[in-house]
Amino acid sequence: MRAILAALAAIGFSDAAFAEAVYVTAARAIDPGSGRVIDNAAVIVSDGRIAAIGARTSTPAPAGAEAIDLGARTLMPGLIDMHTHLSGPATKGRGYDGLQYAGERNVVWGVVHARKTLDAGFTTVRNVGSGGYDMLAVRDAINEGEIPGPRMFVAGPPIGIVGGHCSDRNYLPHDAERVGEGVATGPWEMREKVRRNVKFGVDLIKTCSTGGVFSKGTLLGAPQSTVEELEAIVDEAHMRGLKVASHAHGTVGIKNAIRAGVDTIEHASFLDDEAIAMAKRAGVYLSMDIYNTEFTLAEGEALGVPEESLAKEREVGSVQRESFRKAVAAGAKVIFGTDAAIYPHGDNAKQFAVMVRFGMTPMQAMTAATDLAAEALGRKDDLGCLRVGCAADMIAVGGDPRSDITVLETVDFVMKAGDTAKRP
């Protein structure tokens, strides 16, 4: 039967080609990347991709298609969060509390958080680090249809220096020390860690070029890894076709990572004009998690976040938001990354309102989580778009996000690669 349909399709029998199509209609459709808005929109989905999109009048339903009418809702591409850790719960395991959980527990959390994230309208995420290779198993189970979840681009163990933010085992004293899987010294060891991650199937490389908020004994402003070490990581990763994300709060570490050739800077908190200019010139994307602050400062203490981390959050929060404003005003490529795990998975979209508060238009904020994020993944015109040929990753929200960005916090229709994951 399939062969006959394919043959008919090949000679132009479009009804046959669309025999298993889905016909989705809504009050409007927004494609943030092109800026195109279609009123009374219709989308034809076939084989997991967008086969046609246009006004309902000019895009009739193919014979035999399953119809999904979303009424007064707005249709958008599925959202992309460029910075998550699906293995980490926001409300457990902070500071020393985390030491009681074995690694296996991360897999369970990953499964739970994958579903929450997809239900919230995020059809794609980057998982930028966990202790081991656990989230690759979650990714593969999602891809094989065993559990629901977003498309995952997984980094595996982050690569970094002894005692650094990316080793993150600093809570234990020296005689109980556990060394993180990605801890390395010098360019050759760094290269070996990249090779090992490639061997086990990661999709990107994560490193750290400064200290962080949630690692013990690290300083936000202090660079980590030499430029030589960072260059080795980038060279090795790019040679194998993988992109590199570098965690960096402090200005020097941000610039070191850009000089070394990384693809995205995570957090990018202390940006000066030169750092912004360097990022623009190199085409480096800035993934700035500017929602976290509220959650950590409101809930952190009760959840057991150590005072050291709370103090660092107080130091970085407002500075990072002003950096965000400057970067957006300067026209840098700012993408949507939340660091969900610091705050609850499923609340990812709460960051949109903060992005608009600190200088983005609603359309820019939507582009940061769709078209621009897809570009940073190397998947432009495939993910994060409502155009013919794009993957049929779609969400619907009540109201119009151009006038009220917070409607993105309540997603009641989710489709991933043509499969409906959530219906109104």
Residues in contact with ligand ARG by the rule CB under 6 A: 212-214, 267, 289, 292-293, 313, 316-317, 320, 339, 342
46 forms beta bridges with: 49
Q: From the CB of 178, what's the least distance to ligand ARG, in Å?
A: 19
Contact (CB, 8 A) for 413 and 395: yes
Q: From the CB of 295, what's the least distance to ligand ARG, in Å?
A: 9
Q: What are the helix (H) ranges across 304-407?
A: 307-329, 350-357, 362-368, 371-377
Q: From the CB of 249, what's the least distance to ligand ARG, in Å?
A: 6
Helix axes 227-239, 251-260, angle to 10 degrees: 40
Tokens of 263: 């693809």
Residues 160 and 206: their CA atoms lie apart, in Å, by: 9
CB nearer ligand ARG, residue 346 or residue 401:
346
Q: From the CB of 407, what's the least distance to ligand ARG, in Å?
A: 25
Residues 413 and 71: their CA atoms lie apart, in Å, by: 11
Residue keyed to tokens 């360097």 = 278
Q: From the CB of 218, what's the least distance to ligand ARG, in Å?
A: 8
Dihedral class, residue 281 (left if φ above 0, else alpha if ψ from -120 to 50, else beta): alpha
Residues 297 and 367: their CA atoms lie apart, in Å, by: 28
Q: How many C-beta atoms surround the C-beta of residue 281 within 10 A?
A: 9
Report residue 397 CA to chain centroid gap. 20
Q: From the CB of 169, what's the least distance to ligand ARG, in Å?
A: 14
CB nearer ligand ARG, residue 317 or residue 344:
317
CB nearer ligand ARG, residue 75 or residue 316:
316
CB nearer ligand ARG, residue 18 or residue 153:
153
CB nearer ligand ARG, residue 289 or residue 393:
289
Q: From the CB of 310, what's the least distance to ligand ARG, in Å?
A: 11
CB nearer ligand ARG, residue 306 or residue 317:
317
CB nearer ligand ARG, residue 197 or residue 269:
269
CB nearer ligand ARG, residue 247 or residue 416:
247
Residue 48, C-beta contacts closer than 8 angstroms, at least 6 positions apart: 391, 392, 417, 418, 419
Dihedral class, residue 368 (left if φ above 0, else alpha if ψ from -120 to 50, else beta): alpha
Q: From the CB of 267, what's the least distance to ligand ARG, in Å?
A: 5
Residue type, 326: K
